[in-house]
Amino acid sequence: YLPRKFKIAFNAATEDRAATAVHDIGITVVKNAQGETGFRVLVGGGLGRTPMIGSVIREFLPWQHLLTYIEAILRVYNQYGRRDNKFKARIKILVKAVGAEEFARMVETEWADLK
């Protein structure tokens, strides 16, 4: 089980109607320079006691890999997320503690095992 509740937002509109930056995972549909459809992935957003804006951990993820990439994020959160304090058990606290770049590296490593 995950350390705490977990919210995912998807956005395919030109404006961010889903407020993807303030969810645990924010997924936005994008096209790359070659015109391929994929997703920009943000992690670590949230409101409440400690509001934070999510960090982009992947600018372009091909659509075929979305589910395995989300699974990799969840595995990293499940493995390293705090369980000792419910107020610090959210993924935004983990991303802030290790840094967005390190969190992205951890997810990429986990994802390499899932592909």
Whether 3 is in a domain gets the answer no
Share of the chain above pLDDT 70, in %: 100
In a domain? residue 1 = no
- Quick check: 94 and 2 in contact, CB under 8 A? no
pLDDT digits (tens, 9 = 90+) for 7-61: 999 999 999 999 999 999 999 999 999 999 999 999 999 999 899 999 999 999 9
How many domains are there within the chain?
1
What is the reported pLDDT for 115? 80
d(CA 82, CA 69): 21
Residue 68's domain comprises 8-114
CATH of the domain at 92: 3.30.413.10
**pTM score, whole prediction:** 0.94
User: Count of CB atoms within 10 A of residue 48's CB?
Assistant: 10
Q: Are 41 and 58 in contact (CB under 8 A)?
A: yes
